[in-house]
Each structure stands twice: as structure tokens, then as C-alpha cells.
Amino acid sequence: MSEKIRLQKLISMRGFCSRRKAEELISSSKVKVNGELIIKKGYLVEEDAKIEIEGFENNVETDKVTFLFNKPLGVVSSVKDDRGRKTVIDFFKNENYRLYPVGRLDYNTSGVLLVSNDGELTNLVTHPSTHLNKCYLATVEGKVKEKDLQALRNGVLLEDGMTQKAIVEVFKEKPYETLIFITIHEGRNRQVRRMFEHFSYHIKNLNRESIAFLNVKGLKRGEYRKLTQNEVDKIKLICRENKKSNVIPTYKKK
């Protein structure tokens, strides 16, 4: 007899989706175990149990793959969209995996996004206790005061609590806009936009430049590449050790 584990964990281990998403599927009556509908989240199952999700069998553990995607603007970070908008998964039609985005970027944010079927990687990267540096280039309308830059570095009180320390550096100042690199290691919803909105600044454009050591060098918008096993191992290690990866944006002032 094999060891028993929680149903949501088994679903994510088999690469179907993240543990959190699996919990949602279970509580919305979409999961059967050995033919029986299960709606209890912590339900314990044998590792070799037969699982059906929305009528499809999910017995085979697929290869784990993670892609680094350069997300264009105007694309939803989900598998499907009720409003028929283009999703990040639409770019992966030639890949024979059940992929989903790891975390999210706003519809109007471009840049680095991981897309995977690796439940373990997804759980590690998206877990609230994980400190993975994410660097953004924000184009902010108008000039940004030095005292506000300092406040953004130290932490801002948003409606869901204080933000943690950030690296904030002005890249370019123009008469009508300021380009700012901001590196945060939390993953709250619309965090960068909300941090600037707190001081009444409007972000005209937001691009994620990197997640830890991963950037989109060599990839045009809408293109992707598979992460190497080394890169996957390194990301998992950083998450596990809960280390800041200390990506400090490298750029030259013009």
C-alpha cells in the first residue's frame, strides 16, 4: 500500500495545477477519487489513486516543464478567460502539456512570466513566505519627488498592510515622465501600481524585467524558452532557502 497524502497535494504533484487551485477545484465539486466525488479539502488519498478532474483522468505524472515567457501587453495571466480575451496559455498551443501561469502579471503589464506544469515549483514561487526578487521598469507620469522615492524604498502602507523594503532607482528623467527600476520581493496584487498610486503617481507602462536571475534576454514579446534543469533547480533552491536573490538591476544612465 502506498503512503497517503492530501488530495490537493497529489493533484499539484501530478502537474495539473497549483495546490491552491486544486483546493478550489475540490470545493467546487470537480474532483473524483477512484470514481467518488470528493469535496473535502484535506482528504487523504493513496499516492497511486485514480483522480478525475472535470471528467478527465489525471493518472499519469507528466514531465515537469517550466517556460520563461515574455508576456505582451493586453494578455490575461490565466488559462481561460470568461470574456474571451487572449490568455498567456494561448501562446503555448504547440506544447503538449497542461500549463498554467505561475503567479500573474496584470493585463497591462508586460515582461517575465513563468509558465509551468510543475506544481512544486509553482507552490514554492507563489508561496507568500517566499522572497524572490522581482524587478520592474515603471514609466511614471511626470516627475517623482525624492522624498516619495525614499518612502517607496522604506515601505508604504497599503490597504493590505505595509510593503517590505524595495530597491527603487531612477533610470531616466524626462520632462513629462520618469523611468524607475523597482525591485520588490512580495507578490501582492497590483503591488507596484498601488505603491505609486499611494503617492498619486500614475504608471503609464509597467514591464517585469526579471524574476531572481531570470530575464527575457533574447526573447521578443510573445516568445518563450524552456528553463534548463539547472535554472529550475536554482529557482527552487532560492525559494527553499527563502533567500533574496539580490538582483540589482544593471543599467547605464543615459
The residues facing 53 across adjacent strands are: 31, 56
Mark whether 233 is an active-site residue.
no
Question: Least distance from C-beta 191 to ligand URA, angstroms?
Answer: 5
Closer by beta carbon to ligand URA, 70 or else 109: 109
Identity of the residue, 67 or 196, whose beta carbon is nearer to ligand URA in the bound complex: 196
Total residues in contact with ligand URA, by rule CB under 6 A: 8
Give the sign of the dihedral formed by CA 54, CA 63, CA 105, CA 232. positive
| Binding pattern for the stretch 195-214 against ligand URA, x by CB under 6 A and - elsewhere | -----------x--------
Using CB under 6 A as the criterion, what x/- string covers residues 77-106 for binding ligand URA?
----------------------------xx
- Is residue 185 part of the contact set for ligand URA (CB under 6 A)? no
Minimal distance in Å, beta carbon 195 to ligand URA?
Answer: 8
Q: Which is nearer to ligand URA, 25 or 219 (CB)?
A: 219
The DSSP 8-state label assigned to residue 41 in this structure reads T
Of 194 and 244, the one with the shorter C-beta distance to ligand URA is: 194
**Unique residue bearing C-alpha cell 531572481:** 212
191 binds ligand URA (CB under 6 A): yes
Name the nearest CA neighbour of 106 among 203, 229, 235, 9: 203
Cβ distance to ligand URA smaller for residue 53 or 206: 206
Residues from 103 through 132 that contact ligand URA (CB under 6 A): 105-106, 109
Provide the 10 A C-beta neighbour count for residue 202. 12
Q: Which DSSP letter does residue 135 get?
A: E
Catalytic choice (48, 63, 81, 106) = 106
Q: What is the DSSP letter of 165?
A: P
Q: What is the full DSSP assignment across 47-112? A: TT--EEETTEE--S-PPP-EEEEEEPSS-BSSS--TT---BGGGGGTTS-S--EEES---TTEEEE
> What sign has the CA pseudo-torsion 106, 205, 135, 192?
negative
* C-alpha to C-alpha distance for 82 and 119, rounded to whole angstroms: 24
Q: Is 192 in the site for ligand URA (CB under 6 A)?
A: yes
The residue from 6, 190, 198, 236 that contacts ligand URA (CB under 6 A) is 190
- Footprint on this chain of ligand URA (rule: CB under 6 A): 105-106, 109, 190-193, 206
Active site residues: 106
